[in-house]
């Protein structure tokens, strides 16, 4: 659960950085190409495996982004609200836990689909590859941010 929260927070902060830089379509395509290359290498996907893996992974990511958008909306509503009662906070916590459960269910659903078409030993590496990729991305953004100061 902590890992999901950490990943979501990291993704939110990354989105903020991108929004500040007004990420162009060209940069987004470059980012996506780097991600595909990195994951394909980390998971050691053959061209045939990659051809079936990427559509599933992209579907999973799309569903996750929709859930994360709902999470952000709920989070901002509570954060910006005035005069909330204890029951409001309890309800908000319940919503956030529900979003996290939905994220977990999406991951479970798509991992099960992926292991039908790609060896489980390769899908096992996916979470680690995602963490490594995000770590590299944030390190790069941090270096760029420090060099601009």
The phi, psi pair for 87, rounded to 5°, reads -65, -35
In a domain, 8, yes or no: no
Q: Residue 78 belongs to what domain range? A: 44-117
Asked whether residue 59 falls in the same domain as residue 99, the answer is yes
List, in sequence order, the alpha helices (H) in 81-124: 86-117, 120-123
Dihedral sign for Cα atoms in the order 119, 124, 126, 132 = negative
Asked whether residue 63 falls in the same domain as residue 127, the answer is no
The pLDDT of residue 137 is above 90: no
The pLDDT of residue 60 is above 90: yes
In a domain, 92, yes or no: yes
Q: How many CB atoms lie within 10 A of CB 8?
A: 20
pTM of the model: 0.76
In a domain, 105, yes or no: yes
List, in sequence order, the alpha helices (H) in 21-46: 25-42
Q: Considering the chain, what is the average pLDDT of its residues?
A: 87
Residue 5: which pLDDT band, with cuts at 50, 70 and 90? very low
In a domain, 85, yes or no: yes
């Amino acid at each position: 659960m902590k890992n999901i929260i950490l990943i979501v927070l990291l993704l939110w902060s990354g989105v903020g950085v991108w929004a500040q830089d007004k990420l162009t379509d060209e940069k987004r395509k470059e980012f996506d190409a780097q991600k595909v290359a990195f994951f394909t290498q980390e998971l050691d996907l053959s061209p045939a495996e990659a051809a079936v893996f990427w559509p599933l992974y992209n579907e999973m990511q799309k569903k996750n982004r929709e859930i994360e958008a709902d999470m952000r909306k709920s989070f901002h509503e509570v954060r910006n609200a005035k005069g909330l009662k204890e029951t409001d906070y309890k309800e908000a916590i319940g919503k956030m836990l529900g979003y996290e459960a939905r994220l977990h269910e999406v991951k479970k659903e798509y991992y099960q689909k992926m292991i039908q078409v790609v060896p489980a030993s390769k899908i096992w590496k996916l979470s680690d590859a995602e963490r490594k990729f995000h770590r590299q991305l944030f390190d790069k953004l941090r270096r760029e941010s420090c060099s601009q100061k």
